[in-house]
């Protein structure tokens, strides 16, 4: 049987994904430090509204509200025993909204990092990581997702563990990593490294790419890095809506809908097949992105200078496309997909 997502990859020239989860839920009343996944059972109408906002804006695909759905993440909220329940509920709500749409819409089961550091640097073993990802995957599968969607990963070891877990769940999947200001993930992975990682897996993802990280300019530079490796696998670009800034005590993303529309067409021309937004990306951004993708003819692959001119400066001189010795920022952890 052909997977619905595979069919969409074949039938669509470009796929518009969704935007932010956290940013939208905060506007609905989620408080900092709360677990969004608990809303899958406690605030179901708000989660329906989250999903519907993307669909109504023109998205072909949206992610479930399950980013922090592993036992490791849910343990922070004393909900580690509810992994299957919360992931299944988030997926079921997504299935409900997608099936009501007047066109085919893909429900992608969001799987974020465990938040723990894997061996040998940290304490999380490969087997334990596989077990956690498998448990989450089974809940999403029960809820009816079309594809699993690994995102915001920094360590290759964690990417491999998730791939193994998804094979155990017998589910198709996609996977993105988050590249920092020096064009590398927090654990030092470059765009070239990721292409090699993806192609080395026994069950490679249907599509791969980047999400979150920094602004629109930087993620396009990473997409160019993927494309430069000659990969034939569909590339994902889910960039933040500009650069995060503190305004009146709150994080605000400065990317306008108009800027994200330009980003969307440039991401397509740079080589991305699946294009969406991450932190700060609201339905109003997606509306402009949809319109731009539908109305703007394909262009030549953009140069770095053209990206800077259209979207603003890069946040570092390093492009992360190889072993360039660029700066590596150390972080204690990766932020939630907001």
- Provide the domain limits for residue 162: 4-311
Cα(243)–Cα(139) distance, integer angstroms:
34
Q: Domain for residue 130, yes or no?
A: yes
Work out the average pLDDT over 235-250: 80
293-313 pLDDT tens trace: 999 999 999 999 999 999 999
What values do phi and psi take at 177, rounded to 5? -115, 160
Higher pLDDT, 319 or 18: 18
Q: Domain for residue 332, yes or no?
A: no
Asked if residue 326 has pLDDT above 50, the reply is no
* CA distance readout (Å), 210 to 14, 71, 130, 225, 297: 16, 24, 22, 11, 24
Look at residues 314, 317, 107 and name the one whose alpha carbon lies nearest to residue 213.
Answer: 314
218-237 pLDDT tens trace: 999 999 999 999 999 999 99
Is 174 a known ligand-binding residue?
no
Work out the average pLDDT over 140-144: 98
Q: Domain for residue 336, yes or no?
A: no
Which two three-digit tokens encode residue 91? Answer: 């997926």
Q: How confident is the model at residue 337 (pLDDT cuts 50, 70, 90)?
A: very low
Q: Domain for residue 201, yes or no?
A: yes
Q: Domain for residue 322, yes or no?
A: no
Q: How confident is the model at residue 32 (pLDDT cuts 50, 70, 90)?
A: confident
Domain count, the chain: 1
Work out the average pLDDT over 158-179: 98
Asked if residue 118 has pLDDT above 70, the reply is yes
Say what the pLDDT of residue 331 is: 30
Higher pLDDT, 181 or 61: 61
Q: How confident is the model at residue 255 (pLDDT cuts 50, 70, 90)?
A: confident
Say what the pLDDT of residue 318 is: 72
Q: Domain for residue 242, yes or no?
A: yes
Asked if residue 160 has pLDDT above 50, the reply is yes
Q: Domain for residue 117, yes or no?
A: yes
What values do phi and psi take at 241, rounded to 5? -80, 75
- How many Cβ atoms are within 10 Å of 284's Cβ, its own excluded? 15
Q: Domain for residue 61, yes or no?
A: yes
CATH of the domain at 83: 3.20.20.330
């Amino acid at each position: 049987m052909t997977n619905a997502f595979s069919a969409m990859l074949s039938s669509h020239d470009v796929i518009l994904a969704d935007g932010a989860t956290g940013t939208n839920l905060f506007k609905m009343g989620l408080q900092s430090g709360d677990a969004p996944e608990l809303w899958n059972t406690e605030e179901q109408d708000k989660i329906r509204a989250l999903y519907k906002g993307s669909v109504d804006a023109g998205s072909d695909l949206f992610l479930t509200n399950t980013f922090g759905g592993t036992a490791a993440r849910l343990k922070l909220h004393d909900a580690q025993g509810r992994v299957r329940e919360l992931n299944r509920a988030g997926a079921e709500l997504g299935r409900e909204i997608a099936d009501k749409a007047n066109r085919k819409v893909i429900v992608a089961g969001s799987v974020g990092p465990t938040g723990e550091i894997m061996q040998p640097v940290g304490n999380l073993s490969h087997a334990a990581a596989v077990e956690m990802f498998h448990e989450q995957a089974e809940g999403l599968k029960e809820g009816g997702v079309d594809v699993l969607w690994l995102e915001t990963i920094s360590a290759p070891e964690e990417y491999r563990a998730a791939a193994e877990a998804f094979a155990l769940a017998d589910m198709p999947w996609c996977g993105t990593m988050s590249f920092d200001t020096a064009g590398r993930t927090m654990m030092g992975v470059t765009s070239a490294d990721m292409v090699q990682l993806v192609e080395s897996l026994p069950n490679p993802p249907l599509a791969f790419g980047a999400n979150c990280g920094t602004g629109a300019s930087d993620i396009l530079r990473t997409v160019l890095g993927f494309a430069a490796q000659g990969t034939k696998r569909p590339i994902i670009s889910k960039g933040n809506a500009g650069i995060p800034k503190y305004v009146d005590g709150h994080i605000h993303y400065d990317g306008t809908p108009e800027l994200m529309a330009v980003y969307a067409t440039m991401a397509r021309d740079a080589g991305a097949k699946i294009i969406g937004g991450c932190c700060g990306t609201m339905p109003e951004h997606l509306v402009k992105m949809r319109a731009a993708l539908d109305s703007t003819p394909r262009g030549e692959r953009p140069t770095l200078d053209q990206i800077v001119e259209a979207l603003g400066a890069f946040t570092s001189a390093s492009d992360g496309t190889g072993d360039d010795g660029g700066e590596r920022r150390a972080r204690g952890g990766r932020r939630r997909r907001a």
